[in-house]
Amino acid sequence: MNKSDTVPISLRIQLVSIEGGESFDWGMLDLADQQEYYDVILALGNGIFDEVRVVAEAKEGILYFQNLLGRGGYKRDLGMHIEGRQLYQAGDVGFPAGNPFVFLAPLAQNGETVDFDRLEQEIEELCARLEKLL
C-alpha cells in the first residue's frame, strides 16, 4: 500500500458536557486542529464541567483522547460508580479524576472499537499505522 493509498487518520470527537446541571453539545471537534485541541484541554483542566462524554469518529480519536486523559492524570476506573451520572451510556469507560467525570465510548461512530483491556497493544498498532503515513 502506498502512502497516498492510506486512509487519513481522524481525530474528530463529539463532546457533550454537563455544567451546573445543564447539558451542552459541543458538536464535532477536531483534535488535530490546534485551537480546538487547546479548547478541549483548557475546558477539562479548568474543571468547569461536572461530566463529559466523548464519542470519537474513528478508533484513532478514541486512542488519542484516552492518551490526552492519561497525560492529564486521569486513570480508568474499573469499578466506577455511575449513580446520578447523566451522560453514562452502557459500555462507556469511565475516567474519574475529580472534575469532570469523563466517559469515553469505546465504539467509534464509524463502527471501530477499542479494547481497553489491550490498550498498550492498541496504541502500538496505531503508532505502526502512523509510521506508514509519514
Are the CB atoms for 121 and 127 separated by under 8 Å?
A: no
Residue 25's pLDDT band, with cuts at 50, 70 and 90, is: very high
Task: Give me the residue spans of the domains in the chain.
Answer: 3-133
| % of the chain with per-residue pLDDT over 70 | 90
Instruction: Give residue-wise pLDDT tens across range 53-69.
Output: 999 999 999 988 988 88
- Report pTM: 0.82
Instruction: Give residue-wise pLDDT tens across range 71-110.
Output: 888 888 777 777 778 999 988 988 887 678 899 999 999 9
> What number of other Cβ atoms are within 10 A of residue 19's Cβ?
14
Q: What is the per-residue pLDDT for 2?
A: 42
